[in-house]
Amino acid sequence: MLAMESTLYHNYLEVSKNRIFKILPLIEEENDGLYHYIDSLLFELYGLQYVVNGVKDSFSYLSILCGLESILDETLVNERDFKFIRSEIFKLIGLVESLQKGE
């Protein structure tokens, strides 16, 4: 298992921030692959608890999973509140940054 202090974990989190941010243009362009993209990201993030020691006990980790699950649900409705989703995306990026700081 990786330690939460490892460089590899921190690099992974940096890439994850970019992957979360990518949801915004996918929503804006009404990309058909949006649901699959978020679902794939969630699948990977759920697996993180088996690779990084202690991450599953993190409030930020749990909040990221919950937020992405909710955004995934929002992709199923026809009338999306883009401003709200945008603010949630930036909140999730902030939570990833909290994980990077060890919070």
**pLDDT, tens digit, 9 for 90 and up, residues 21-55:** 999 999 999 999 999 999 999 999 999 999 999 99
15: its two tokens: 């890439």
Can you tell me the distance from the alpha carbon of 85 to that of 34, in angstroms, rounded to the nearest whole number?
13
Amino acid at the residue 62: L
pTM equals 0.92
* Degrees to nearest 5, angle at CA 61 with 16 and 50: 85
- Going by pLDDT thresholds of 50, 70 and 90, the confidence category of residue 67 is very high
99: its two tokens: 């994980």
Q: Facing residues of 52 across strands?
A: 2
3-state secondary structure of 84: helix
Nearest to 85 by CA among 28, 10, 11, 18: 28
pLDDT for position 80: 82
